[in-house]
C-alpha cells in the first residue's frame, strides 16, 4: 500500500469527524443566520463530557455518545436562551458577539475546572493492518459514528414533521410562520441540534487525541473552513466537505511538512470566502 493512499485514508477517517463538527455550525448558520461562536466551546464540552462519562462508567464510548448528545441538546437550549433568543432579529454582528461572549464564559469556567492541561480518554479498539500501515480502530469507529449521526440527522430533517419545519424555517421564516409553524420553537430546536452535533464530534475526537478545554477552537476553525466550502445551511454537504478537507490534508501531507497545512487551509478559506461567498458546492438557502 502506498504512503499517499494510507495518508488519504487517514484523512478520510478524520475528515468525517471534521464534517460532523461542521454540520452543527452549518445547520445553525443556515436556519437562523447566526454564526455560532460557542461552537468550539461546545466541542470541548463534548470532549470533557465523554471523558467524565467514560471515567465514571467505563462503558463503550460509542454508546456514551447517546448521553453526550442528549446533554448537548439540553445545553443547546440553555445557550440559545442565553445568547441567541434575544438577538435573533438584530444585526448579525450582535449574535456574533453574544455567542462569542458565552464562548468566553464557557472557556473560563472550563479552565477553572479542568485547567488547560491535556486529558486523555484511555480506550482503544484493535486496528486494521494493510501492509506496513495500520488504521486504528478508534479512527474507523469515529468515522462510522460520524456518518451514522449524519444520516440520522438527514432522516430527521427530511422524514419528520419537526425536521420539515426546520427546513421550512430555514427556507423562509416569514412564510413558515404564515403556515402556522412557530419559528421560535423551531429555532431553539435547530440550535439545540447544532450544539448536540458539536458535542458529539467533540466526544469522538476525545477518543482519538488528547485534548484541553481550548482544543475546541481548532475544530471550530476547521468547521468554518468546511462550512464555507460546503455552502451554508447544507448539513449533509458539510459532512461531504469535511471528508474532502480530510482527503486534501491526506493528499498533500506526504509532499510538504504538516505544519504548512494550516496555511493552505486558511488561505483556501479566505480565498473561497472572497470568490464564492455562497460556497463552492451550492447556494445558500437564504
Q: Which is nearest to 13 in space by CA: 155, 124, 198, 137?
A: 137
Q: Could you tell me the smallest distance in angstroms from the CB atom of residue 40 to another protein? A: 11
**Which is nearer to another protein, 162 or 268 (by Cβ)?**
268
Give the span between the Cα atoms of 89 and 91, in whole angstroms: 7
φ and ψ of 136, to 5 deg: -70, 150
Q: Could you tell me the smallest distance in angstroms from the CB atom of residue 159 to another protein? A: 31
Q: Which is nearest to 40 in space by CA: 28, 54, 22, 57?
A: 22
In this structure, is the dihedral angle defined by the CA atoms of residues 96, 217, 67 and 190, taken in order, positive or negative? positive
**Which is nearer to another protein, 94 or 162 (by Cβ)?**
94
**Which is nearer to another protein, 102 or 153 (by Cβ)?**
102
**Which is nearer to another protein, 23 or 249 (by Cβ)?**
249
Q: Could you tell me the smallest distance in angstroms from the CB atom of residue 104 to another protein? A: 3
Q: Could you tell me the smallest distance in angstroms from the CB atom of residue 246 to another protein? A: 10
Give the span between the Cα atoms of 240 and 245, in whole angstroms: 9
Coil, helix or strand at residue 283: coil
Q: Could you tell me the smallest distance in angstroms from the CB atom of residue 164 to another protein? A: 26
**Which is nearer to another protein, 129 or 172 (by Cβ)?**
129
H runs (alpha helix) in 125-260? 137-159, 161-171, 173-178, 183-206, 216-230, 235-252
Amino acid at each position: 500500500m502506498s504512503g499517499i493512499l494510507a495518508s488519504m485514508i487517514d484523512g478520510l477517517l478524520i475528515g468525517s469527524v471534521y464534517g460532523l463538527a461542521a454540520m452543527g455550525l452549518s445547520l445553525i448558520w443556515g436556519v437562523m443566520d447566526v454564526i455560532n461562536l460557542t461552537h468550539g466551546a461546545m466541542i470541548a464540552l463534548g470532549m470533557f463530557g465523554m471523558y467524565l462519562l467514560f471515567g465514571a462508567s467505563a462503558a463503550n464510548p460509542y454508546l456514551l455518545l447517546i448521553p453526550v448528545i442528549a446533554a448537548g441538546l439540553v445545553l443547546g437550549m440553555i445557550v440559545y436562551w442565553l445568547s441567541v433568543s434575544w438577538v435573533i432579529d438584530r444585526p448579525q454582528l450582535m449574535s456574533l458577539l453574544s455567542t462569542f461572549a458565552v464562548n468566553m464564559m464557557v472557556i473560563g469556567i472550563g479552565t477553572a475546572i479542568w485547567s488547560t492541561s491535556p486529558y486523555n480518554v484511555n480506550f482503544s479498539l484493535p486496528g486494521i493492518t494493510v501492509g506496513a500501515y495500520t488504521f486504528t480502530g478508534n479512527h474507523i469507529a469515529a468515522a462510522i459514528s460520524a456518518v451514522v449521526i449524519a444520516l440520522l440527522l438527514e432522516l430527521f430533517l427530511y422524514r419528520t414533521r419537526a425536521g420539515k419545519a426546520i427546513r421550512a424555517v430555514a427556507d423562509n421564516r416569514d412564510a413558515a410562520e404564515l403556515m402556522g409553524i412557530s419559528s421560535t420553537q423551531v429555532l431553539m430546536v435547530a440550535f439545540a441540534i447544532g450544539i448536540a452535533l458539536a458535542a458529539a464530534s467533540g466526544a469522538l475526537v476525545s477518543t482519538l487525541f488528547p485534548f484541553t478545554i481550548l482544543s475546541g477552537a481548532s475544530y471550530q476553525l476547521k468547521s468554518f473552513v468546511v462550512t464555507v466550502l460546503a455552502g451554508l445551511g447544507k448539513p449533509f454537504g458539510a459532512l461531504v466537505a469535511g471528508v474532502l478537507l480530510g482527503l486534501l490534508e491526506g493528499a498533500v501531507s506526504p509532499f510538504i511538512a504538516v505544519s504548512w497545512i494550516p496555511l493552505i487551509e486558511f488561505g483556501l478559506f479566505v480565498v473561497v470566502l472572497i470568490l464564492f461567498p455562497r460556497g463552492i458546492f451550492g447556494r445558500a438557502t437564504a
